[in-house]
Structure 1
Amino acid sequence: MVDMMKKNEKKKLLIYAHYYTPDVASTGQILKELAEGMLHEFDITIICVVPSYTGKVADEYKTKMFYKEEINGVKIVRIRVPEFSKSNKISRIKNILAYFLGAMIATFKVGEMDYVYSISQPPILGGLIGVWGKWMKNAKYIYNIQDFNPEQTMAVGYSKSTLILKSMLWFDKFSCKRSDKVIVVGRDMVETLENRFKGKKVPKNIFINNWIDEKEIYPLQLDEEKVFAFKKKYGLENKFIIMYSGNLGLYYDLENLMKVIKKFKDRDDVAFAFVGEGSIRNQLVLYKDNHNLKNVIFIPYQDKAELIYSLNAGDVHWCINAKGIKGVSVPSKLYGIMAAGKPVLGMLEEGSEARLIIEGTNCGLVCEPGDYESIESYINWFIENARSHEQIDMGTRGRDYLVKNLTKDVSVMKYTEEIKSC
């Protein structure tokens, strides 16, 4: 009888998440949907920070080191971390180290585990904390690489220290070697993993796309009440809206993009909307002010429940990465754009996962990073053909492809199978 009960018990899965709902970090939202989608197979515990993606920590999370919660059947252990500023490197490092050390301690608070899963956030430490969990729990370890580092760091010149970069690469290769399976989120990222190991003793790996819940984000009419309310709130009525929705960070070449946008500063019928926060937001706002770009609007992060309305308010959406990001990261914002049925204005390297999807579905226009002449030409084309059948068809093709190939249920099922097969 005892053996039968054990056989019917769900396997225990520990997920190191760094950020988790209600934080608006894209990885936190993905992990929420992944965890809740796998509850039929696993007893799941999350170790993450207290809600703090914006840098601020609410008063109710300032009195203890650890907080235990449960959301929709998922057990959560939250770690108190110091507040930080996204523009201050030192404060961010302190915050990240507090999570890393806190997660090591929290590992002893969650009991036995059959599987340990971590993502590549924070860079390098996300992998190492997964290895720690594997060792402490004598469990199978699945390492999900959302972003390759130090490759991403090198691409944007965030650090030029050879010693630091070589050390980062050594540690992350160590995490890959110690994993029982590596999951990457792009076809181009499989190549990066193989190149890391020069094709020899490459860790067991699989590619699974990220996703968006197509039942939560879907096309709405421009005159839908809440879409119109969003546009009215931010002075976007009667404008053709070219929107960027997501993290205003280092990896998207946004500062150079502003120089292209400046050429359209006299177009009263066009608005360039940036929805989100990030480390370079202040620089972008300063550029807007210094060059009197009245048709550039900055809008705060939208709650997940409101995202459908903000995405539908845009007529065209940016999907961009800086040069060097191919095979390193896949912009998850693409899935939201496609879910909302909007055309894509892309600046992505040839052969990168997002560009392969855009070109394969013909759901937008895309060029190489740094090709600002083409971007200017594409902006002109979208404006001149505003809301034409050709643009509407682009968005429809993207939505149709997503519904058939990039749904939450499809990806979560793949994750479940790959974890169980370790």
Structure 2
Amino acid sequence: MILNKRRVLLVSEHFQPSTGATAQLMNDLASGLVKQNWRVVVLTATGGPENSTTEDLTVIRLSSSIQSNNGVIGKAMKGTYFLISSLIWCLKHGNRGDVVLIVSNPPFIGLLGTILRKLKNMPYVFLFQDLFPQTAVISGLLPSSGPVASSFQWLMNVICKQAAKTVVLSDSMQTQLVQNLGQAESVTVIHNWAVEKALPIPLAKNPFAIQHGFQDRFTVQYSGNFGRLHDLKTLLDAAVILHANPMQFIFIGGGAKQSQIDNYCKFHSLSNVIRLHYQPRSTLKYSLGACDLSVIGLIPGAENSMAPCKFYGILASGKGVLLIAKKNCDLAQLVLTAGIGLVVEPGESEALADKLLQLSKNPQQVQDMGKRARSLYEKRFGRERSTLSYSSLLKSVR
């Protein structure tokens, strides 16, 4: 009976109908927890249809009418509105026995948990999508030293220490956070999953590749956010080196480094590079498979503070991984030991170009990487496995 079901309040700035990765993951998680016998209430800043309830899933939209750009100040204003609105809703409607699952966007949203814990004795779990303020320092948004970064680090430590549990997305993130906190008991790793996977269609017959005219070329694809923490330059430099070879580089998505791609194409007259906008979810089953290798690029330091969710989609799609990152990080070691792709460090463009040229002449090796990638996903990762982990964790919180 519904009365016997415990309720979880999922606080996520991003949710459907947004097509961003976090929104899709949290939509999957909410519906997955319902299947695990939870009543789920989602508090989100994402606009869309009016508040709705379907079976045991209720979506409360607390979107702001604040008119602002997507800069730091505008995001902070909207984030503050979401924090205050979520707090008011929880104070009015939250019950003892509820557990609050807070997703770390905006970073200070974790304050909600500390307040509810004190005022209503409601326990909370904090989900770190990336380790702020470390990510802001690495990307250059905050100075590495000084009162701003120190204050944010103090705040995040308080949020994590007062949480019943803190969830991170990878072993390296766990190691870094434990080092920051000085304690390990409350930090748990739960991996993300593939929100979509490609259909098993050969590149030569893939309708997305045919539509854009690269079905007959060895194709390297970067799909997702062109963010400040992502290394695109190493891949673009390799594209410059290989411009005379029958090889295609596809960039699908958008973000802060979008102009870097456009500038490279213009300055170097790169006919072997195509940049496309984000694709609707219905197209991903074709676009994700429209390549021979899929790329993940991380600038130095990012490998310990974030976990690229596209990794799981690449594996589930049965594609080999081209990872641009420090070779000593856990993701690089997994790619190498599992034999599912290539690893080069940021700046190793010439070495990357050589490896890509060799692989383009060895299709069987490329296929074998893809098969091992798919097998790895099925054995170690997946939505159902992660949802069950979240459900078990939430049940342990009292």
TM-score (norm 2): 0.91
User: 1:174 Cα shift?
Assistant: 0.7
Equivalent position of 1:184 in the other structure: 168
Other structure's SS at 1:312 match:
coil
Equivalent position of 1:172 in the other structure: 156
The separation in 1 between residues aligned to 2:275 and 2:92, in whole angstroms, is 42
Equivalent position of 1:261 in the other structure: 239
Alignment of 1:194-273 (within 5 A): 194-198=178-182, 201-202=183-184, 204-212=186-194, 216-222=196-202, 227-228=206-207, 230-267=208-245, 269-273=246-250
Other structure's SS at 1:250 match:
coil
**In the superposition, relative to structure 1, how do residues 275 and 176 fare at CA in structure 2: closer, same or farther (>3 Å)?**
same
User: 1:309 Cα shift?
Assistant: 0.7
User: 1:212 Cα shift?
Assistant: 1.7
2:391 matches 1:409 = no
2:14 matches 1:19 = yes
Equivalent position of 1:99 in the other structure: 82
Alignment of 1:151-162 (within 5 A): 151-160=134-143, 162=146
**In the superposition, relative to structure 1, how do residues 271 and 42 fare at CA in structure 2: closer, same or farther (>3 Å)?**
same
Residue 240 of structure 1 aligns with an amino acid whose one-letter code is F
The separation in 2 between residues aligned to 1:356 and 1:384, in whole angstroms, is 25
The separation in 1 between residues aligned to 2:188 and 2:79, in whole angstroms, is 28
2:273 matches 1:296 = yes
User: 1:203 Cα shift?
Assistant: 5.0
**Stretch moving more, 350-359 or 238-247:** 350-359
User: 1:140 Cα shift?
Assistant: 1.6
The separation in 1 between residues aligned to 2:328 and 2:190, in whole angstroms, is 17
Contact 1:243 1:314 in 2 (8 A): yes
Equivalent position of 1:47 in the other structure: 43
Other structure's SS at 1:94 match:
helix
Residue 217 of structure 2 aligns with an amino acid whose one-letter code is K
Residue 229 of structure 2 aligns with an amino acid whose one-letter code is Y
Contact 1:273 1:298 in 2 (8 A): yes
- What's the CA shift string for 1:110-136, capped at 9, x where partnerless? 4426100112222x2132233334445
**In the superposition, relative to structure 1, how do residues 274 and 218 fare at CA in structure 2: closer, same or farther (>3 Å)?**
closer
Residue 38 of structure 1 aligns with an amino acid whose one-letter code is L
Equivalent position of 1:287 in the other structure: 264
How high is the sequence identity, in percent, across the aligned residues? 25
Equivalent position of 1:56 in the other structure: none
- What's the CA shift string for 1:228-248, capped at 9, x where partnerless? 2x1233232322211001101
The separation in 2 between residues aligned to 1:121 and 1:105, in whole angstroms, is 18
Other structure's SS at 2:78 match:
helix
Other structure's SS at 1:143 match:
strand
User: 1:139 Cα shift?
Assistant: 1.6
The alignment covers a number of residue pairs equal to 393
**In the superposition, relative to structure 1, how do residues 321 and 150 fare at CA in structure 2: closer, same or farther (>3 Å)?**
same
The separation in 2 between residues aligned to 1:36 and 1:202, in whole angstroms, is 30
Contact 1:14 1:116 in 2 (8 A): yes
The separation in 1 between residues aligned to 2:91 and 2:386, in whole angstroms, is 30
User: 1:283 Cα shift?
Assistant: 3.3
The separation in 1 between residues aligned to 2:59 and 2:126, in whole angstroms, is 19
The separation in 1 between residues aligned to 2:257 and 2:72, in whole angstroms, is 12
**In the superposition, relative to structure 1, how do residues 300 and 103 fare at CA in structure 2: closer, same or farther (>3 Å)?**
same
- What's the CA shift string for 1:214-234, capped at 9, x where partnerless? xx5254122686x32x12332
**Stretch moving more, 290-299 or 241-250:** 290-299
User: Unaligned stretches of 5+ in structure 2?
Assistant: none
